[in-house]
Structure 1
Amino acid sequence: MKGRATGGLIVALLTLMLAACTVVDLDADGKPIMPKDPNAKPGYSNQTPQQIAESGWASRVQQPAEQQALSWADMETKSHTVKAGASESVFVRAGGVVTAFDNSNARERHLTMTINGKPVQVQIGPVLRSNAIRDAAGFRFDEFTNQVQYAQLTKALNRHAVKQLPAVDASWVGKPVQALLAVTMAPGKVDDVVAIQLQQGSP
C-alpha cells in the first residue's frame, strides 16, 4: 500500500510539473522563440537601420513633426537657450519664397528660402549631411546595439526623408513654399536645415 501511495504521489507531482511548463514555439532554425519581456527597454537590435527608418517614420518623425513643430521665430528664440558647445535639433514649420536652387553638386542639392526676411539654406538631397532628423525625432543611443547602428540610422532616415519630397528644380525659384524642416541649432544660430516636407504655395 505504501509503495502504491508513493508511486501515485510521484505521478501527481510529475503531472503538476508538466502542467506548469510553457510550450515554447521554435523558429525556422529550431531555436526557441522567447516571449518579449514587457518590462524590457525598447530596442532595435533585430532590425536594420533601413527597417527602423521605414517602420518608425510615421510615429517618430512625421506625426511629431506635424504636431509639435515650432515656428521659425520660436526656434530662433529657443536657440539662445542652447548651452555653449552643445547643439539641439527640433522640427520647424516655416514658409518663405525660394530665392535660389543649387544643384552644382548633384548629390547635395540645396534650396535657399527667405524666411522671416533672412536667407536660409535648406538641404534637399539626395544626400543629406546632418543628424537633424534623427535627433529631432528623439532617437537615443541607448536604444541601439552600438554606435555604428546609431550612425547608420541617420543615413537611413535621411534617405527616407528625400523619398517623401517632391521633384524640386529651378522652376521653384521665385515661388512661395511651405516647409516642414528638421533644424539643428547651436547657441544663438542655426547649423543645419533639412527638408522633410515641401509644398509650393502660400499658407
Structure 2
Amino acid sequence: MNIRIVLAVSVLAASLSGCKFVKTNAGEDGASADPMAELVETSFDAKLVPALNEKAVELATLRDALKSGLDKAGEAHGVRVGGAGGGWNFPVKGTATVVEENRASKAATADIDLDGDNKGDATLQLGPVIKGTALRDTTTLYDFSTFRDQIEYAKLGRALNDKAVSKLPAADTPLKGKKVAFLGAVVIRSASEKPQIMPVSIEVVP
C-alpha cells in the first residue's frame, strides 16, 4: 500500500477516535432529523419556560440586590457559568413601560422603564439577532457534557434564541408607550451595567 494512503488512513482513524457523535433519528421520509431542532422543540415550552417562571426574580428586586454587589445578588438569585470571574445568569420577570423601541436594526430592542421616571432601566432583546446565551445558561437543563463539543453547545444557544424570538411580538406590533409583562433571562457581568434581557414572552397588559 502507498505510504501516503497509510498515513491518511491513520490520521483519519485517530481523529475519529476522539470525536463524540450526536445521534440523529430518521424522520418519516427517511431523512435524518435535526437533533438540535428536536431538543429545542421538546424542551422549550415543556421545560425551559416553566423553569424560568419558577425561579424568576422580579427585575426590580434584582436591581435592588445588585446595589449590594453582583456576587451577593448572584448567590441569592442566579447561576454562574464559567467559574469565578464569569458572569451571573438570572431568570427574571417583571412589568414595565416601553420607553424606546428600535426595530430598524436586526438586533432590535426595546428599552423598559421600571420606576416611572421615563428612562430605560433595562433592555429587552427582540431580534432576530440576539446577543448572549442566557436562555441556555440560566437553568441546569442543558449540560455541556452531553454535547459533542463547544460548537454544538453554541448552536444550542442560538437555536434557543431563535425559538424565543419566534414567540415575541412581531415588528408590525409597536410596543413603545405600552405596559408589558415579560419573562426571560439575563447575564450580568457588572453590577452597574444595564441589563440586556432575552425574553421568552412579552405580553401587553392594560
Aligned-partner residue type, residue 104 of structure 1: A
Percent sequence identity is: 23
Residue type matched to 1:93 in 2?
Answer: K
TM-score in terms of structure 1 length: 0.69
| Structure 2 counterpart of 1:49, from 36, 40, 59 | 36
| Residues 196 and 84 of structure 1, relative CA distance in 2, 3 Å threshold | same
Amino acid at match of 1:181: G
Change in Cα spacing, 1:143 to 1:189, as seen in structure 2 (3 Å) is farther
Alpha carbons 2:181, 2:202 under 8 Å: kept: yes
Asked whether 1:72 is paired with 2:71, we answer no
Is the contact between residue 60 and residue 94 of structure 2 (CA under 8 Å) also seen in structure 1? no
Once residues 147 and 72 of structure 1 are traced to their aligned partners in structure 2, the CA distance between those partners, rounded to angstroms, is 30
Which whole-Å CA distance do the structure 1 matches of 2:86 and 2:36 have between them? 26
How far has the Cα of 1:62 moved from its partner?
Answer: 0.8
1:181 aligns with 2:158: no
* C-alpha contact 2:103 2:171 (8 A) present in aligned 1: no
Q: Find the partner of 2:152 among 134, 146, 149.
A: 149
Q: Give the structure with higher Rg (CA).
A: 1
Provide the C-alpha distance between the structure 2 equivalents of 1:199 and 1:174, rounded to a whole number of angstroms: 13
Equivalent-residue separation in structure 2 for 1:58 and 1:140 (angstroms): 18
Aligned partner of 1:135: which letter? D
What is residue 113 of structure 1 aligned with on the other side? Answer: 112
Alpha carbons of structure 1 residues 187 and 84: separation in structure 2 relative to 1, 3 Å: farther
1:194 and 2:198 equivalent?
yes
Letter in 1 for 2:201: Q
Q: Which amino acid in 2 is paired with 1:88?
A: W
SS in 2 for 1:172: coil
CA RMSD of aligned residues (A): 2.4
Instruction: Tell me the CA shift for residue 45 of structure 1.
Output: 2.9
Q: For residues 87-130 of structure 1, what are the alpha-carbon distances to aligned partners after superposition, in whole Å with 9 as ceiling and x for unaligned?
A: 1212101111011110221x211011112355112111112121
Distance 1:143 1:192 in 2: 28
Would you say the 8 A contact 1:86–1:187 is kept in 2? Answer: no
For these two proteins, the number of residue pairs brought into alignment is 159
**How many Å apart are 1:74 and its aligned residue?**
3.2
Bigger relative contact order (CA 8 A; separation at least 6)? 1
CA separation in 1, counterparts of 2:170 and 2:39? 25
State the distance in 2 between where 1:51 and 1:189 align.
Answer: 38
1:1-150 counterparts in 2 under 5 A? 45-46=22-23, 48-76=35-63, 77=65, 79-81=70-72, 82=74, 85-105=85-105, 107-116=106-115, 119=120, 120-138=122-140, 139-150=142-153
